[in-house]
Amino acid sequence: MMAKTASPRLLTLPDIAALAGVQRAVVSMWRNRTSVRGAVVPFPAAVDVVGKVEHFALDDIVAYLAATGRGKNPEAAVDAATLAAPVAAGHESAELLLSLAVLTGADLASLSPAELVTLAEEVDQNDQFLLREAREQSWHPDLPGHVDELVAASFGAEDAFARLDSGRLARGAGHRGCAPELVSLVASVTAACRDHAGTGAVLDASGDLQFDQALAPHFPAVLINDSAGVSARRLRRRAAALQWAVLPEPGSVPIVRVRSLLGMATDDALLSADDVVVSLGPGDVAVVLGPATALTDALVGSAERARAETLRPGPLATALRLPRGLWKAAHRQSSAVWVLTQGTGRTEARLADLDGVDLDLDDLAADVAQALAPLTTSGPLPTEARTYRYLRPRALDRVLAGGQLVPRGTRAVRLHTADEHLETTHSAARELERPLPPLDTSVAACHALPVVRWLSLGELVNDKRLVLRQGRRIDPAGADPRGTVHVLSADGADADLRLDPFYARDRYARATWTEPGDVVFIEKPRPRAIVDTRGGSLVATPSRILRLADSAPVGPHVLAERINRSVPGSEWRTWDVPALSRADAEALDARLAEVASYRDELLRRERALDTWASALVAGVAAGSLALPSTHQQTASAENR
């Protein structure tokens, strides 16, 4: 009998981006740009289209990356097989087989379905986590071989599961997952909660295996409630494969409960968060991750009352508003974290908006630990044992008074010393000494048909592919030089205006706050536009906001570039943009984003140079700075 021929190993465009370590738009750019260091190297052609999704031969892609040197993954040839799951396979089946392979160490490709069931009987005789599924499942015939390759190319069992849970099969099952940065942040916050709870604290797992896999190794045991059914069996399966100790009941030890409410509607998320608060016992701590729209942003009506009723007894120790893009299923939405204890009459909460912050997770964990710790009483008044780097204390009654729970830009208060000339010059010098990143200016001739269709902004607004929002008149008397809420204007007139986040929330409660990717523009005296990549800012009238829908034919940087090239005196509705394909729009916007970043870097260096020169003059005049003599400079240069 002839041996069965394995199906060809295929990759989709998202697989190729993951393999190369680049964004999806970069791969689209490679397809259109065939010139590589003076040679023409065409991107491989798709070998199959399944459900309107192009699939490419793995060997062709590996050869292309090797020939062009493109991408950021020097191990692409080894990693490729881990991404080439059979097209029609299911994530649940792959996870089951991977668990079986890790638990037994067997090569699965050589075993028949009956032999695989026998293997499952050996490792799960009491049918607690795997045997039932092995008997009921039917899987793609090439899937056992893929699992063998996944195990062989991974750095241990944890890495193999992480690759599976972030790959195409997981995406196909609707598991979009979270960015690694979010997993690391939740792990750091949970570690601070574990240390506060004390020795022996156990983890009440979230049920989201991406988080549980990062958290469980740092706890002596994981609570798994078998009444949870299928999800409990899946968690037990992962626990068995990764050798986590499991407890059905916590006994008398404290519990750290972790819950993910991502993807829930606002009312459901608030109800689940309230259930977590009710479940907390003395010494327990909870970390709740959910949508910022429910946990930290402004609410109205019954939702606002429900959130206030949950938090009024004082369980909230910390609330963090996180940047957008960390939850892949809704990359335009921000997430948020609550740290909760049993309601103990706490009258203050510690808050922070971490969007746009240069984050040190160790310092964040220290802040959370301080927020959970009791106040010290060594002086006449209770005080904090340390100052916060990120968190800002706020009276609970003011937090629950309505509006945003965590106003945009909420950060720790910074105290400045009387003479900062030396630090200012050093900071500016560091900015000037950083190497300037290169700008990719390469282009190639394209023989495709030219774009002949242009759409006006008026058409796009009417079709709801663009949304227009008005700016607000901002009173400069409320400016705070240490404020963290930026006020934007397209012409830069308010570039230095900052507001305190709580003042901004109260004073401009009904204003539109920007989201990352918004285009801020002005019509007169000449068209000007900027892209707000940070979000969480206010816009000063007469500047206005254009917010792009997913169906917009261009990205924000292309839109801003077209506005900046519009004729002075023309009406904004007449300005136009090209109707590009999704791939071309993504690739062009990615390139213009690089141009904007390069331009911003040049402007930062110009400002740093001005700051350095100004601080130098002021410092020398004040006697706090001294310049080396010419002889010292010459000797230093010779020594170098």
The two tokens of residue 337 are 């974290």
Q: pLDDT at residue 402 above 60?
A: yes
- Tell me the pLDDT tens digit for each residue of 113-146: 999 999 999 999 999 999 999 998 888 899 999 9
Residues in the chain: 640
529: β partners: 521
Q: Which residue has the higher pLDDT, 601 or 135?
A: 135
Helical residues (DSSP H) of 333-384, grouped into ranges: 361-372
Omega cis (within 30) before 450: no
Q: Are 485 and 538 in contact (CB under 8 A)?
A: yes
SS3 readout for 469-534: EECECCCHHHCCCCCCEEEECCCCCCCCCEECHHHHHHHCCCCCCCCCCEEEEECCCCCEEEEECC
Dihedral of alpha carbons 75, 81, 167, 16, sign = positive
Half-sphere exposure of 44 (CA within 13 A, CB side): 23
Please check whether residue 324 is in contact with residue 535, taking contact to mean a CB–CB distance below 8 angstroms: yes
For 48-110, the DSSP string reads EEETTEEEEEHHHHHHHHHHH--SS-TTHHHHHHHH---TT--HHHHHHHHHHHHHH---STT
Distance CA 478, CA 499 (A): 7
Instruction: Output the pLDDT for position 410.
Output: 87
Q: Mean of the per-residue pLDDT values for the chain?
A: 86
Burial 519-546 (b: 16+ CB within 10 A, else e): bbbbbeeebbbbbbbbbbbbbbebbbbb
Hey, what domains does the chain have and what are their CATH numbers?
10-172 (no CATH), 180-201+254-399 (no CATH), 454-578 (3.90.220.20), 598-639 (no CATH)
Q: What percent of the chain has pLDDT over 70?
A: 92
Is the pLDDT assigned to residue 177 strictly greater than 90? no
Strands, sheet with 528-532, edge to edge from the N-terminal-most edge strand: 466-470, 544-548, 518-522, 528-532
User: Phi and psi (nearest 5°) for 200?
Assistant: 90, 0
Rounded distance, CA 501 to CA 409, Å?
A: 5
Q: pLDDT band at 637, cuts 50/70/90?
A: very low
The set of residues, in sequence order, having a beta carbon less than 8 Å from that of 315 and lying 6+ positions away, is: 277, 280, 340, 341, 342, 343, 344, 346
pTM equals 0.74
| The two structure tokens encoding residue 340 | 């909760």
Mean pLDDT to the nearest integer, 206-216: 88
